[in-house]
Chain A
Amino acid sequence: MATEAPPPRGGADTVPVQLPTEAFVRTQQSEEFGELRRAHRSFAFPLTVAFIAWYLLYVLLSNYAGGLMGTRVVGNINVALVLGVAQFVTTFLIAWFYARHAAEKLDPRAEAIKTRMENEPRPEADA
């Protein structure tokens, strides 16, 4: 059941296109959408696991490998500080990497599906 009536005009909110549930089910099962989902999940899921594991490794090393973390690299700069700053660097890199992946692999696919669905001729249903 539709839970929200579209807002009345006059505000800045756009009135979204209303499509019947069957259109979404059909799209969800299409090859095209399967590719988009794979492109998102196969990138985002492993990367999420990886950065959380890397962060946890860092937390655990801080806790249980004090000797290693205290080793000096240059002057007063030790392994702990280098690894800490490395967390910043990997965060920036992953953010940039994802933005590039999304622009190349996700946006064109999403855009194509969106355009097709919104322009698809559909029966006069008041769904």
Chain B
Amino acid sequence: MSTLTLAAAGAASEHRPLIITLFGCFVVATLFITVWAGRQTKSAADFYAGGRQFTGFQNGLAISGDYMSAASFLGIAGAIALFGYDGFLYSIGFLVAWLVALLLVAEPLRNSGRFTMGDVLAYRMRQRPVRTAAGTSTIVVSIFYLLAQMAGAGVLVSLLLGITSDTGKIAIVALVGVLMIVYVTIGGMKGTTWVQMVKAVLLIAGTLLITFLVLLKYGFNVSELLGRAAENSGKGAAFLEPGLKYGATATSKLDFVSLGIALVLGTAGLPHILIRFYTVPTAKAARKSVNWAIGIIGAFYLMTIALGFGAAAIVGPAEITASNKAGNTAAPLLALHIGGADSPGGAILLAVISAVAFATILAVVAGLTLASSSSFAHDIYANVIRRGQATEQEEVRAARWATVLIGIVSIALGALARDLNVAGLVALAFAVAASANLPTILYSLFWKRFTTQGALWSIYGGLATSVVLVLFSPVVSGKASSMFPDVDFAWFPLENPGLVSIPLGFLLGWLGSLLSKEQPDRGKYAELEVKSLTGVGAH
């Protein structure tokens, strides 16, 4: 386990009451919002889609809050601080990916679906098998993403609050889990959306403040900031060029291409992002929300340059790696130093940034839990098990129970996974989403020959391939940084499966449709196509 540096440890233990107070304020405020939202949550549309009454701007803010996870905030800042330019490549992939959602997915999805991704995937198809498949892949993607956030919460807390005992970390993971169950079961989509909006504002404000202070220190001269970062990194000019993390071998370069493809194609297949498009009244509002999200998320990722290179220049790699090998504490350490390591200012900034990071994790886990419990209740329970005969009340009750169940499962898994490499889990979620969900979404909306068999091959094929390839990759075994470093059953050389599994997902969808005996339902496709482009009969 990594050790805290003296400065951070001193500030953290000295100002622990402050950190806990700020975090407590966020929890109390969000619980208040949740209860308020819960009182207005009556119908299924309220629970799943927040009553579809949010504006484009509100939803754009909530999307940003849902998307900018702890992996973005802590992970990217840390990756830039340690690997320089290569860390910044994540920021670019995560942002460009939004164009797929904007141009091809957001509006048609809003027009033709109701509550879940499965609504659109199953529209033209035989309901039960396709909804089962869509529900399965939604839950798998969300659980992997959820695990990464829960494990991240444990790491963060142990570093910032100085809790290093296993019991302490498990207690924190459990606390996060219980809070997310409360947010989602009581507040539904409305409560979750407001929590995400509050978090997005806090995160942007915190990042802006640190960015401003970093730039101020270098007289708003970016070149000088970069120069100091390169000098302080000990790597010189190479720190500002691609290749430090991924340039070592031909395999690692290929891995980088694989990661790049998974990032850019994964976003538009992430179920917790897709269900956000149902919270606005029209496709036009869905478009507006994506445009706002692109603006907010883009501004945030641009600021990761200042955060990451600032941490390299001001904190330095030695102190960052001493605190956390993966660099996850670079942003909080930067806050401490820029505010003055021995002054109250530094401690207050550290506390603020730590509280923002907690808020980030809570808002993202709430979104993920809602996505998976919605899909369980709406796709699997209501449409597969009850064959569409469940009443709205029964469906929402099932969603609430599913939330509790998923919460408990992720507390258990999160407690087990607390020392695992979280980056691998997030990248896996993106790769699975791009391999299993995106091909089916695009074929469903735009290809008239697509059939039930094509959808099933694509979802299960993409899902199985990506999960199996990760299982036999260096992420799981064979390397010092693996989940199980002591055994080696890795035969797939790449850490990210996207390069193989995404093309395979597309290929299987195409092949499955061509080889199916069943003719595509032309009438249903006419309905879906007309609805998706015009919004006729949209909920």
Residues of A within 8 A of B (CB): 3-5, 7-8, 10-14, 16-19, 21-22, 24-25, 27-28, 33, 36-37, 40-41, 44, 47-48, 51-52, 55-56, 58-60, 62-64, 66, 69-70, 74-78, 80-81, 84-85, 87-88, 91-92, 94-96, 98-99, 102, 106-107, 110-111, 113-114, 117-118
Excluding A19-B537, A96-B291, 13 further A-B contacts by CB distance (< 8 Å) are A7-B43, A14-B539, A19-B536, A25-B522, A27-B526, A27-B536, A28-B530, A37-B529, A55-B93, A76-B226, A91-B98, A95-B290, A95-B291
Contact B291 A99 (CB under 8 A): yes
Give me the 8 closest cross-chain CB pairs, A-B, nearest first. Answer: A11-B43, A75-B223, A13-B45, A12-B51, A62-B242, A28-B526, A76-B226, A16-B537
CB distance from B434 to the nearest CB of A (A): 12
Of all chain A residues, the one with the shortest Cβ separation from B42 is A11
Contact B89 A62 (CB under 8 A): yes
Residues of B within 8 A of A (CB): 42-46, 49, 51-53, 85, 88-89, 92-93, 95-96, 98-100, 102-104, 107, 114, 122, 127, 222-224, 226-227, 230, 237-238, 240-243, 246-247, 253, 256-257, 260-261, 264, 283-284, 287-288, 290-291, 294-295, 298, 301-302, 383, 388, 392, 446, 522-524, 526-527, 529-531, 533-539
Known: A21-B524, A69-B242, A85-B302. A3 touches B383 (CB 8 A): yes
Contact B388 A4 (CB under 8 A): yes
Of all chain B residues, the one with the shortest Cβ separation from A101 is B103
Can you spell out 24 A-B residue pairs with CB atoms less than 8 angstroms apart? A11-B46, A12-B46, A12-B51, A13-B51, A24-B523, A33-B530, A37-B533, A56-B261, A59-B257, A62-B242, A62-B256, A66-B242, A66-B243, A70-B241, A75-B223, A75-B224, A81-B88, A88-B298, A96-B291, A98-B103, A99-B288, A110-B533, A113-B534, A114-B535
Chain A residues, CB < 8 A from B264: 52, 55
Of all chain B residues, the one with the shortest Cβ separation from A16 is B537
Contact B42 A18 (CB under 8 A): no
Chain B residues, CB < 8 A from A106: 533
Contact A16 B533 (CB under 8 A): no
CB distance from A92 to the nearest CB of B (A): 6
Bound-complex Cα distance A21 to B301 (A)? 45
CB distance from B401 to the nearest CB of A (A): 20
Contact B534 A10 (CB under 8 A): no
Bound-complex Cα distance A78 to B242 (A)? 11
Chain A residues, CB < 8 A from B531: 24
Contact A84 B45 (CB under 8 A): no
Chain A residues, CB < 8 A from B534: 33, 36, 110-111, 113-114, 117
Contact A40 B533 (CB under 8 A): yes
Bound-complex Cα distance A10 to B295 (A)? 36
Chain B residues, CB < 8 A from A63: 242-243, 246-247, 253, 256-257
Of all chain A residues, the one with the shortest Cβ separation from B103 is A44
Bound-complex Cα distance A66 to B98 (A)? 27
Known: A12-B53, A63-B257. A80 touches B43 (CB 8 A): no
CB distance from B5 to the nearest CB of A (A): 27
Bound-complex Cα distance A64 to B240 (A)? 16
Bound-complex Cα distance A11 to B85 (A)? 50
Chain A residues, CB < 8 A from B51: 11-13
Contact B45 A81 (CB under 8 A): no
Bound-complex Cα distance A47 to B301 (A)? 23
Known: A28-B530, A76-B240, A95-B102. A13 touches B223 (CB 8 A): no
Contact B533 A36 (CB under 8 A): yes
